[in-house]
Amino acid sequence: MRKGVSEAVVIGVEDDKWGERPLALVIRDAKTGGDLSETEIKTHLKSFVDAGVISKFAIPDRIVFVDALPKTSVRKFNKKELREIYGNSRPILQRG
Q: What is the DSSP letter of 26?
A: E
> What is the rounded average pLDDT of the residues 60-76?
95
Round to whole Å and give the CA distance between 78 and 81. Answer: 5
The pTM is what? Answer: 0.84
> 13 in helix, strand or coil?
strand
Round to whole Å and give the CA distance between 83 and 96. Answer: 20
pLDDT over 70 (residue 78) = yes
In the chain, the percentage of residues whose pLDDT exceeds 70 is 90
| Residue ranges of domains in the chain, CATH in brackets | 5-86 (3.30.300.30)
> What is the rounded average pLDDT of the residues 54-59?
96
pLDDT over 80 (residue 76) = yes
Round to whole Å and give the CA distance between 35 and 51. Answer: 26
Confidence class of residue 90 from pLDDT cuts 50, 70 and 90?
Answer: very low
